[in-house]
Amino acid sequence: MGSDREHEGEWTIPGEPWGESGGFPGRLLVAPGSGRVHLLPPQQFVRGSEAGAPGRAVAEVRQREATLRVATPGVGWIRDVLVVEGEPVTEGQPIAWLTEEFG
């Protein structure tokens, strides 16, 4: 069995803390590398929506000898997960959709 290494998830545009808007409200959390996605259980709900705190892992991308951590870069709301458990993903593929505002 290989060793695990952690890697923070990245947003779609480096240097911008909330990434690319894509013309819709919110931002995309993307896979930091290729592998199979493993969704982590929600940790905090506020009024029925899952809250994302800075650095909170929402998924892992598992490779043969590494596990890449997909984490939120800031406070926000996880609106939708765009992959299913065990799905193969490629680097840069959207994993979740987040917004900075509740509502």
Quick check: 58 and 71 in contact, CB under 8 A?
yes
What is the mean pLDDT for each group of 10 consecutive residues in the chain (103 residues)? 40 41 74 94 74 84 93 83 95 89 55
The pLDDT of residue 22 is: 60
Give me the residue spans of the domains in the chain: 10-99
Distance of CA 26 to the CA centre of its chain: 13
Q: What is the rounded distance in angstroms from the CA atom of residue 38 to the CA atom of residue 84?
A: 8
Q: What is the rounded distance in angstroms from the CA atom of residue 103 to the CA atom of residue 5?
A: 35
Structural tokens at position 43: 């940790």
The pLDDT of residue 102 is: 52
Domain 10-99: CATH class, spelled out: mainly beta
Question: Tens digits of per-residue pLDDT, 69-89?
Answer: 998 887 888 888 899 999 999
